[in-house]
Amino acid sequence: MECIVVPVAAALVLLNGPAGFGCAGPQPLDVAIDPADELAYATALDATELDSRKAFIQWMSAERGLAPDAVVRADAQISESRNPFDARRDRRAVSRGAVLYKVHCAKCHGEDTRGEGPATLAGHPASNFKSPLKRLSVTLFGGAAGSWFRAIRDGKGDEVEYPLGATAAMPPFAGELTREQIWLTITYLQSLDMYAPAKTDD
Ligand code: HEC
């Protein structure tokens, strides 16, 4: 069942409901993540002394059988306004996005994406991606992907003092993540739990 046909007022209620008619995504991290992706990124982070760009480039280089330089050149060709991944169909991109989200974003936006992670500062909550308005906009048109890309790349909000230093409340990730990494985290945020596979016991 597609959720787009639900009238807007009803949708706002349903999106928040327990089952949420499948619109209440993003999927829980443990459902979205393929353990092989989590292991591959952890291994690459280890090998690069936690350099998140390098680690991802190394991972994709092995995955695609390309030289690291070629991965970097391909990344520079990726659009900064249009997500190259389809959160509704591309389970692998959702899994990789969830891995990246878990490592780089969950400490502020929360494991459950509600914006209440342990690293947030009082008075500067991180955006809640489960809010009814966010889910409605994701369900209808994928959310504000272009402006989310800019927020992640350039940072957003007031200048604040985190334990590691002063930055915008939403710190800029331009130097830390490739374009592809940024789009993958957005792909995870765009995913809906209606597209989650059934859990198996294997
Ligand atoms: C150190 C805490 C922190 C981390 C880490 C963090 N964020 Fe944020 N983020 C915030 C805060 C706080 C805001 C709200 C900024 C404001 O006041 O507008 C925010 C806002 C955003 C927004 C803008 C949402 C909107 O509606 O405009 C996006 C998108 C976002 N974060 C995505 C991410 C992603 C993806 C990551 C991981 C790569 C991440 N954030 C990591 C704290 C964080």
Q: Please classify residue 66 by burial: count the beta carbons closer than 10 Å to its beta carbon, then call 0-12 exposed, 13-18 middle and 19+ buried.
A: middle
Q: Look at residue 3 and tell me if it is in a domain.
A: no
- For 167, list phi and psi in degrees, rounded to 5: -155, 180
Mean pLDDT of 97-123: 97
Residues 6+ apart with CB under 8 A from 172: 152, 153, 154, 155
69 CA to middle of ligand 1, Å?
Answer: 29
- Ligand 1 atom at minimum distance from 147 CA: 27
Q: Look at residue 149 and tell me if it is in a domain.
A: yes
pLDDT of residue 18 exceeding 70, the answer is no
Q: What is the pLDDT of residues 42-77, one digit of tens each?
A: 999 999 999 999 999 999 999 999 999 999 999 999
151 Cβ closer than 6 Å to some ligand 1 atom: yes
68 CA to middle of ligand 1, Å?
Answer: 29
Q: Look at residue 9 and tell me if it is in a domain.
A: no
Q: How far apart are CA 70 and CA 181, in angstroms?
A: 16
Q: Look at residue 47 and tell me if it is in a domain.
A: yes
39 CA to middle of ligand 1, Å?
Answer: 25
- CB-facing half-sphere around the CA of 196: CA atoms within 13 A: 22
Q: Look at residue 165 and tell me if it is in a domain.
A: yes
pTM of the model: 0.91
Q: Look at residue 1 and tell me if it is in a domain.
A: no
Count the domains in the chain: 1
Q: Look at residue 171 and tell me if it is in a domain.
A: yes
**pLDDT bucket at 192, cuts 50 / 70 / 90:** confident
Q: How would DSSP label each residue in 143-177?
A: SSHHHHHHHHHH-EEEEEEETTEEEEEE---TTTS
Q: Which two tokens stand for residue 169?
A: 């409340």
- Ligand 1 atom at minimum distance from 107 CA: 5
Q: Look at residue 84 and tell me if it is in a domain.
A: yes
Give percent above pLDDT 90 in the chain. 77
Q: How far apart are the first and last CA of the chain?
A: 28
185 Cβ closer than 6 Å to some ligand 1 atom: yes
Residue 145 lies in domain: 22-195
- Ligand 1 atom at minimum distance from 101 CA: 37
